Structure 1
Amino acid sequence: MEKRVLKTLEFNKIIQQVATHCTSVAGRAHVEQLTPSRELEDVRRLLEETDEGLALLRIRGNVPMGGIHDIRPHAKRAQIGGMLSAMELVEIADTIRASRILRQFLEAVTAEGEINIPHLIARKEAMPILTGVEHEINAAIDDNGRVVDSASSALRSIRQSLRVQESRVRERLESYTRGKNAAKMLSDAIVTIRNDRYVIPVKAEYRSHYGGVIHDMSSSGQTLFIEPDAVVQANNEIRSLKVKEQEEIEKILLALSASVREVAHDLFTLVQLLAEIDVILAKAKYGTANKCTKPAVNADGYMRLTKARHPLLPIEEAVANTIEFGQDITTIVITGPNTGGKTVTLKTVGLCTLMAQSGLPIPVLDGSEIAVFDSIYADIGDEQSIEQSLSTFSSHMVNIVDILKKFDDRSLLLFDELGSGTDPQEGAALAISILDEVHGSGARVMATTHYPELKAYGYNRPGVANASVEFDIDTLSPTYRLLIGVPGRSNAFEISKRLGLHNHIIDRAKGFTGEDRGEVDSMIASLETSRVQSEKDAERTHDLLLETEQLKKELNAKLAEFEEQKERLTEAAKERAKKIVEKAKSESEAVISDLRALRMNAGASVKEHELIEARKRLESATPAEKKKKAIKAKAAPRPLQKGDEVKVLAYGQKGTLVEKVSDKEWVVEIGILKMKLPELGLEYVKPEKEKKQVTSAAVRGRSGHVKLELDLRGERYEDAIARTEKYIDDALLSNYHQVSIIHGKGTGALQKGVQQYLKKHSRVNSYRFGEAGEGGHGVTIVELK
């Protein structure tokens, strides 16, 4: 892309905004060199990388990128044998540490499987691991750039001697500050340093009292900073030790610099990779801050920008427009008055294209698509050149001539006020001719113009569409909304009328414009009326859709309510049926008990009316609901025979077959009663000798159901353990594989006792606390063998 075009479209301002989101100098340098790519695959890769950054920021909120320095100059100097300073070495260690933290962060994200970030992971894998150099530097230099005593045994020894010697000098000088003449002869009772020598502040008139060397003087000349004779030799020793200290520090720094020299190439690679990741994240942060999205890209010259905003305008002020062209329509001509937003539209298209080809998200809604062009040319703004003695028209034409020499069918051309700055008729003719030239080549073109002659341009040329920027007559101001398919009007007569110009003046002016102009304006007005009507129809359709969705929600709610009520009624019916059956069972048992009593009373004769009364009571005990539906017995393993024991399903009692009355009826003896009953209501019962041995669990299954859980809350410890013991036995006999024991949390004593018992039980396979949905630590889940 030409630098002139990047400047015209203000792409440099976008780059400056992205650079503010970088966390490293190297990353900022990369962003400042960012240029649009012309290769489709490169653009796709760049946008995918940025999309990974957007996903990472969305999921994790932030990425650890602190502590990265541009250490390439340090590594370069180490390569040629130079000695690095302590702070330069600290920066190298900090950068290695930052890469280690970032690598661990990306590994954690990958391990959790939250998002797929292959491009970032590839850079993470390419990072050289230089932990050894980092530890070597950190072991010798602290965070403030000071070489520590433990860097070498020689340095430790020198510094110990130095501290001892300094302590002696200070003690000697402090004895002067505490002397009886100190208040008289010293300006201040302190020990200070001048020229790396320990001195005391002596009043000028007492200089001879202490002797020694004068190292400094106060601005007034009243105080002399003297090194007394008594400490000169000691200060000399300190000076000698400091020289040795510095020599030892230089040896350490040279050794560390040699270690850096060995990995210099890896450091260059590391900084490059960290800078690339920093750039990716900076693009993502810019996109998040400006509500941008990743567009789809193609090499077919097609673009669909949904609700596109100018990226340099504040989000709350920018008017979003949907712009689509490049397939059937390859040229758009925007007409209308100045200050309506035509130029902003051109720059929006140009900037969004440059941003996308640089791997930046663009300020559009999801689902947008943009083309990758080999080149973008723009003739926008006032190009008047005083130095070259060129008028505005001449300057524009110089630029357009240059564009016409360079463009091809893979170019995007943006012309602002095409043909302006000269005679209107000639300018309009030139504009039409230039548009014919570029449109016929297959390039994608957007142009703005004043000229009314170009309003008809899109109606008699295939692949060309008119457009305009909406103007509100009521407020006399532009709305900045782009209207594709509708040419613009100057609205001069309407505006003048609203501003108070007399009607007869306006009518006379209309007479000067000619019939053709009036017909064109009438056509445009008709198009605008159709557009407004279409928008109203679309709005009405949208309202109907919302109303339909609301109705659907209400119907779904009613259906859910109906299903819930149906469920309640079903449960109520089941409960009522259960009560009826229980009542019938109780009455049947009472009848059977009375019959047994009659049979036991062998000495007394049973009267016929008593038997009839008992039979009626037994029949009336049958629930009415069950009489409505025939009860069908299970199929017998063989045909029923005289003497077989059967179960009478209607009464729930056992009896013996006495005689077959017909194909469908039997006489059945129930206790001392004999009744005719249908065969369908009789179920064959195997004799005792044919029955399998049943376990106590089966017996219990008939007499009492063993639950899947045991609730011990509120029990005493001994009772609880006894109940647990019995419950586990019952569960094993019932062939349960898993049961729950509810002991609560409390003091934990009951829980410990239960689990100690389970631990010793030979038939307990394992046990564990319940999950969150099972009761947590208040429940123990037991797996049985």
Structure 2
Amino acid sequence: MNKKTLTKLEFYKITELLMNEATTPGGQRKCRNLKPSTDLTKIESMQEETAAAFTRIVKKGHLSFSGCYPIEESMKRLEVGAALNAAELLRIAKVLTAAGRAKAYGRHETIEELADCLDSYFDMLEPVSLLSTEIDRCIISEDEISDDASSTLKQIRRQIGAMNDRVHSTLTGMVNGPLRTYLQDAIITMRGDRYCIPVKAEYRSKVSGMIHDQSATGSTLFIEPMAVVKLNNDLKELYGKEQEEIQVILARLSSDAADYIEEIRTDYKVMTELDFIFARGSLALSMNASRPVFNNERRILIREGRHPLIDRKKVVPITISLGDTFDLLIVTGPNTGGKTVSLKTVGLFTLMGQAGLHIPALDRSELGIFEDVYADIGDEQSIEQSLSTFSSHMTNIVSFLMKIKDDSLVLFDELGAGTDPTEGAALAIAILSHLHAQGIRTMATTHYSELKIFALETPGVENASCEFDVATLRPTYRLLIGIPGKSNAFAISKKLGLPDYIIEDARAHLSSEAESFEDVLTDLEANRRLIEKEKEEIASYKRELERLKNETASRQKKLDDQRDRIIREANEKAHAILLDAKETADETMKNFRKFGKENISAAEMEKERERLRKKLKSTSSKVTLETAKPRKKHKPSDFKLGESVRVLSMNLNGIITSLPDARGNLHVQMGILNSQVHMSDLEIIEEQPSYSAKGLQRTSKGKMKMSKSFSVSPEINLLGKTVDEAVAELDKYLDDAYIAHLSPVRIVHGKGTGALRNGIHAYLRRQKHIKEFHLAAFGEGDAGVTIVEFK
């Protein structure tokens, strides 16, 4: 790829973004030197690596490459047997630690995790944990070696500490003793690596020792007393031994590292490569990019592509195709309408894809493999070279027309501009025809109407336009393939205030063919917008229908499940009643045999018979099907919409929602359950209120009744109220419950002092529509609840 094109299409800005994602100097260098490839195998391999890194980042987060500093110079020194310093050994330890961290990151946590192409990189890593651990144990920092690095070093430093204490003790005695009057300050100081005391110059003869320094004014002399000279000499000797031992330790560690030169070198190279790969994956994540599909037919299909250097909140996605049914695309439209951005997007995506980078577009976007990309974009006017805009463009075009091959991608911005419009258009058509004849994939932007007509008349050439909203004088930046664009010069000028007579005079200078062509474009644009609007409405209707369909199916499933549950519970209850009846029958037969054999009194027999009668009555009350009463057979004409009926097989009341069909089937709404039932399984309920959403419904006899049962509770809570408050609230509640046919009802008043209960009972005794009332049984509220039954 030529560097001029890389610059024009701003590929180097992409590599700068990529460098920001890398951590190591080696990885950043690889990002900076990244170039597009023309080898499909290499491209696919890099794309696969980028995709694998993208997936791992999403699942596990970013991999840290901290500590991977260049170590090649140190490796060369180890190869010749040299000893490394502490800083070099620490860098090696950091590389090995980072390798161990990456090795752990690369392991698959579960069996279900699929292997990817990065596994081979992680498998190559060899952390050499023993070496890195030993280096970290011995070396604290670049300037400090641990006392535990060796027993000899530990002993020497213990001796140094003891010697320091002796020197300080001796000098402290001098400073605080007889020499105090001769000193400038009562302190101990260091000159070089010797301990000294500051003596006033006039008392030099009073203090015996070696002079090591003096103050700037000469009034103070720094003297090492003779009493500590030998101690300082011994201390200096110990410091020398310490440095010798440190060198021995560094030599030992270097020797250990020399045994793993290849492993360390491999770790660094692999970590650098992984940093480069994960930088590509991280960039793809930040751009919300996807892996393009490559082909050998030089076919381009970018689906909802976004230029990566434009703010994601402002960029308008574009869809572009080239190389399928046409190999030459001519983009027209007004200035600042997005033509150049569309052109750059195609070129930059091609370069990014061939460099192994994902592109910010939807999945299944396609890119071809091009040996080179040539771009003539921007104004290259040069005053120094005496080149006009037209001349600079033509110089650039001529330079690469001689190099273009069949597998090249050519991009022209405003081809033929900067000169006479007629000649410029003719020249542009000639250049594009030359490229089109060779089948070279070409994309060009222009204002010339002649090029629009050329695209309409020539097979394999397609028009495209950047949409422009004349009403707001703003471009929408949408690219529309198959539709030539208008320059909108007259409309824009009129909107900006140019008088109508000038615009009309301008129209008069247009040829009839040109004016007719512009009118056709206007009609096409209006029809396209109308069709797009209708398509959006149709799509909206489809989505709504799909939503309603899913909602209906879900509701029907719930109803079916509830119906099945009700039937199942009814069968279980029936089964339980049958078992109870069988047990009663068995017990009765057993007692009859017993009464026949034993001398049982008539009183006991009557008592047993009464017990059985009560049990049978209790059991029969659970069975709500009225078998004793003959059921009336209904005709289809007897059933009316909204009429109340009882579904005998399900023992449920409901409302008719459809009239009987030819087979006698109709739909009945039972609460939330809407079911199809045969009319033979129905019984019309006379004088029953038909419940509706409004609470009022007319019965078959024309009377109006209120549907209170939807809102009236079978219980009222009067706890904490006074007798007057409770009676007022209870009066309204009993009226509602009586109208709703709720009987019995519960009044919760609590036990307390009994005043509220007595007041409520006094009120109930005066009500004529109450049949009886009594306190609840034990376990149902006892004396804190009163049960009321209506007449």
TM-score normalized with structure 2 length: 0.73
The percent of aligned pairs where both chains have the same amino acid is 41
Q: What is aligned with 2:23? A: 23
Counterparts of 2:102 and 2:366, CA distance in 1: 33
Q: What is aligned with 1:10? A: 10
Residues 35 and 187 of structure 1, relative CA distance in 2, 3 Å threshold: farther
Q: Is the 8 A contact 1:55 1:115 kept in 2?
A: no
Counterparts of 2:154 and 2:94, CA distance in 1: 25
Q: What is aligned with 2:465? A: 468
- Aligned amino acid, residue 89 of structure 1: L
Q: What is aligned with 2:68? A: 68
Residues 567 and 204 of structure 1, relative CA distance in 2, 3 Å threshold: farther
Residues 170 and 404 of structure 1, relative CA distance in 2, 3 Å threshold: same
Residues 15 and 204 of structure 1, relative CA distance in 2, 3 Å threshold: farther
- Aligned amino acid, residue 26 of structure 1: G
Q: Which moved more, 1:297-306 or 1:152-161?
A: 152-161
* 1:271 CA drift (Å): 1.1
Q: Please tell me whether residue 94 in structure 1 is matched to residue 94 in structure 2.
A: yes
Q: Is the 8 A contact 2:201 2:219 kept in 1?
A: yes
Q: Is the 8 A contact 2:328 2:462 kept in 1?
A: yes
Residues 426 and 82 of structure 1, relative CA distance in 2, 3 Å threshold: farther
SS class of match (1:142): strand
Q: Which moved more, 1:61-70 or 1:135-144?
A: 135-144
Counterparts of 2:199 and 2:94, CA distance in 1: 47
* 1:354 CA drift (Å): 1.3
- Aligned amino acid, residue 555 of structure 1: T
Which one of 318, 329, 332 corresponds to residue 332 of structure 1?
Answer: 329
SS class of match (1:383): coil
Q: What is aligned with 2:120? A: 122
Q: Please tell me whether residue 78 in structure 1 is matched to residue 78 in structure 2.
A: yes
Q: What is aligned with 1:231? A: 228
Q: Please tell me whether residue 521 in structure 1 is matched to residue 518 in structure 2.
A: yes
Residues 221 and 371 of structure 1, relative CA distance in 2, 3 Å threshold: farther
SS class of match (1:20): helix
Q: Which moved more, 1:110-119 or 1:377-386?
A: 110-119
Q: What is aligned with 2:158? A: 160
- Aligned amino acid, residue 194 of structure 1: R
Which one of 329, 351, 362 corresponds to residue 348 of structure 2?
Answer: 351
Residues 601 and 111 of structure 1, relative CA distance in 2, 3 Å threshold: closer
Residues 355 and 200 of structure 1, relative CA distance in 2, 3 Å threshold: farther
* 1:510 CA drift (Å): 0.4
Which one of 434, 450, 466 corresponds to residue 437 of structure 1?
Answer: 434
Counterparts of 1:254 and 1:598, CA distance in 2: 114
- Aligned amino acid, residue 173 of structure 1: L
Tell me the number of residue pairs that the alignment of Structure 1 and Structure 2 aligns.
614
Counterparts of 1:467 and 1:379, CA distance in 2: 19
Counterparts of 1:30 and 1:224, CA distance in 2: 60
SS class of match (1:467): strand
SS class of match (2:197): strand
Residues 187 and 513 of structure 1, relative CA distance in 2, 3 Å threshold: farther
Q: Please tell me whether residue 393 in structure 1 is matched to residue 406 in structure 2.
A: no
Counterparts of 1:172 and 1:8, CA distance in 2: 78
SS class of match (1:528): helix
Counterparts of 1:545 and 1:222, CA distance in 2: 101
Residues 501 and 73 of structure 1, relative CA distance in 2, 3 Å threshold: same
Any runs of at least 4 consecutive aligned residues in structure 1 with deviations exceeding 6 A, and if so which? 601-604, 619-625
Q: Is the 8 A contact 1:412 1:444 kept in 2?
A: yes
Q: What is aligned with 1:149? A: 147
Offset from partner CA, 1:536-595 (integer Å, 9 cap, x none): 122112211221122023202321321232133213312431343134224422541354
Q: What is aligned with 2:238? A: 241
How large is the Cα RMSD of the aligned pairs?
3.0
* 1:13 CA drift (Å): 1.1
Counterparts of 2:257 and 2:6, CA distance in 1: 41
SS class of match (2:370): coil
* 1:364 CA drift (Å): 1.0
Q: Please tell me whether residue 133 in structure 1 is matched to residue 131 in structure 2.
A: yes
Counterparts of 1:556 and 1:211, CA distance in 2: 110
Q: Please tell me whether residue 287 in structure 1 is matched to residue 284 in structure 2.
A: yes
Q: Please tell me whether residue 368 in structure 1 is matched to residue 365 in structure 2.
A: yes
Counterparts of 1:50 and 1:101, CA distance in 2: 20
Q: Which moved more, 1:572-581 or 1:456-465?
A: 572-581
Counterparts of 1:28 and 1:500, CA distance in 2: 54
* 1:129 CA drift (Å): 4.7
Offset from partner CA, 1:445-479 (integer Å, 9 cap, x none): 11112222112121111121111212221221222
* 1:115 CA drift (Å): 3.4
Residues 523 and 603 of structure 1, relative CA distance in 2, 3 Å threshold: closer
Which one of 264, 289, 308 corresponds to residue 311 of structure 1?
Answer: 308
Q: Which moved more, 1:428-437 or 1:157-166?
A: 157-166
Q: Please tell me whether residue 210 in structure 1 is matched to residue 207 in structure 2.
A: yes
Structure 2: runs of 5 or more not aligned: 602-612, 628-791
Q: Please tell me whether residue 41 in structure 1 is matched to residue 38 in structure 2.
A: no
* 1:395 CA drift (Å): 2.2
Offset from partner CA, 1:502-522 (integer Å, 9 cap, x none): 212111110012212211211
SS class of match (1:84): coil
- Aligned amino acid, residue 189 of structure 2: T
Q: Is the 8 A contact 2:210 2:223 kept in 1?
A: yes
Q: What is aligned with 1:635? A: none
Counterparts of 2:286 and 2:218, CA distance in 1: 62
1:430-579 superposed matches below 5 A: 430-579=427-576
Q: Is the 8 A contact 1:128 1:266 kept in 2?
A: yes
Counterparts of 1:150 and 1:366, CA distance in 2: 58
Q: What is aligned with 2:173? A: 175
* 1:314 CA drift (Å): 1.4
Counterparts of 2:286 and 2:142, CA distance in 1: 35
* 1:38 CA drift (Å): 1.0
Residues 250 and 580 of structure 1, relative CA distance in 2, 3 Å threshold: closer
- Aligned amino acid, residue 58 of structure 1: V
* 1:136 CA drift (Å): 4.0
Q: What is aligned with 2:55? A: 55
- Aligned amino acid, residue 404 of structure 1: L
Q: Is the 8 A contact 2:79 2:258 kept in 1?
A: yes
Residues 539 and 406 of structure 1, relative CA distance in 2, 3 Å threshold: same
Residues 241 and 396 of structure 1, relative CA distance in 2, 3 Å threshold: same
Q: What is aligned with 1:754? A: none
* 1:388 CA drift (Å): 3.5
Q: Which moved more, 1:573-582 or 1:536-545?
A: 573-582
Structure 1: runs of 5 or more not aligned: 605-615, 628-785
Q: Please tell me whether residue 265 in structure 1 is matched to residue 262 in structure 2.
A: yes
Q: Is the 8 A contact 1:299 1:373 kept in 2?
A: no
Offset from partner CA, 1:239-287 (integer Å, 9 cap, x none): 2332332233223323333443443333222211101111111111111
Counterparts of 1:223 and 1:341, CA distance in 2: 81
* 1:67 CA drift (Å): 2.4
- Aligned amino acid, residue 497 of structure 1: K
SS class of match (2:145): coil
- Aligned amino acid, residue 362 of structure 2: L
Counterparts of 1:327 and 1:141, CA distance in 2: 65
* 1:311 CA drift (Å): 0.7
- Aligned amino acid, residue 74 of structure 1: S
Which one of 419, 427, 447 corresponds to residue 416 of structure 2?
Answer: 419
* 1:493 CA drift (Å): 1.0
Offset from partner CA, 1:672-696 (integer Å, 9 cap, x none): xxxxxxxxxxxxxxxxxxxxxxxxx
SS class of match (1:65): coil
Residues 160 and 488 of structure 1, relative CA distance in 2, 3 Å threshold: same
Q: Which moved more, 1:145-154 or 1:270-279?
A: 145-154
Counterparts of 2:397 and 2:212, CA distance in 1: 76
Residues 145 and 282 of structure 1, relative CA distance in 2, 3 Å threshold: farther
* 1:203 CA drift (Å): 4.3
Counterparts of 1:217 and 1:437, CA distance in 2: 90
Counterparts of 1:117 and 1:106, CA distance in 2: 10
SS class of match (1:242): helix
Offset from partner CA, 1:151-176 (integer Å, 9 cap, x none): 34443343333333222222222223
Counterparts of 1:406 and 1:469, CA distance in 2: 31
Q: Is the 8 A contact 1:6 1:12 kept in 2?
A: yes
